[in-house]
Amino acid sequence: MSIITAFIGCGTVCLIGQMIFDNTKFTPGHVTSLFVVAGCFLDIGNIYDKFIDFAGAGAYLPITSFGHSMMDSVMKGIESDGLLGIPLSIFDSVSGGISSAILFAFLVAVIFKPKS
C-alpha cells in the first residue's frame, strides 16, 4: 500500500506542476521556484509533515521537499540561535544533496564531451 500512496502523492505534485506549466506562461524555472516556496509555506503549519505521513517516499521526491527541508532547518536554527539561526542553518539538511549535485555535474562534464 505504501507504494501506491507514494505514487499518488508524488504523481499529484507532478500533475499540479505540469498543469501550471501547460496553462500559464511560466518557465520550468518559475515552476521549480514556486514549488520550493510552496514547500516552505507548507512546512510552517506542519501541513507538509502530514503529506509525508500519507505519501512517504512520494513526498520526498518532488522539489517541494527541498523547500520543506530548508524551512525545517531554519526553524531548528531559530530555536537554537534566534534570528541568527536563519543564515547559519538554512542549508544544514540540504547541503549534502547540493554538494552531490555539484560533484556529479563536474564528473559528468569531465568524462563526457558535448557535441559540437
The pLDDT tens digits for 32-71 are 999 999 999 998 888 999 999 999 989 988 889 999 999 9
Reported as a pLDDT band with limits 50, 70 and 90, residue 97 is confident
For the beta carbon of residue 22, count every other beta carbon within 10 angstroms: 8
Task: Report the candidate in 68, 99, 70 with the shortest Cα–Cα distance to residue 87.
Answer: 70
Please state, rounded to an integer, the average pLDDT across all residues of the chain: 91
In a domain, 64, yes or no: yes
- Cα separation of 91 and 53, whole Å? 23
In a domain, 42, yes or no: yes
Whether 18 shows a pLDDT value over 80: the answer reads yes
Which pTM value belongs to this model?
Answer: 0.81
The pLDDT score that the predictor gives to residue 34 is: 95
Q: Number of folded domains in the chain? A: 1
DSSP code for 112 = S
Whether 90 shows a pLDDT value over 80: the answer reads yes
In a domain, 98, yes or no: yes
In a domain, 14, yes or no: yes
In a domain, 107, yes or no: yes
- Cα separation of 97 and 9, whole Å? 22
In a domain, 24, yes or no: yes
Domain that holds residue 76: 2-111
In a domain, 79, yes or no: yes
In a domain, 116, yes or no: no
pLDDT (tens digit per residue) in 19-36: 999 999 999 999 999 999
Q: What percent of the chain has pLDDT over 70?
A: 99
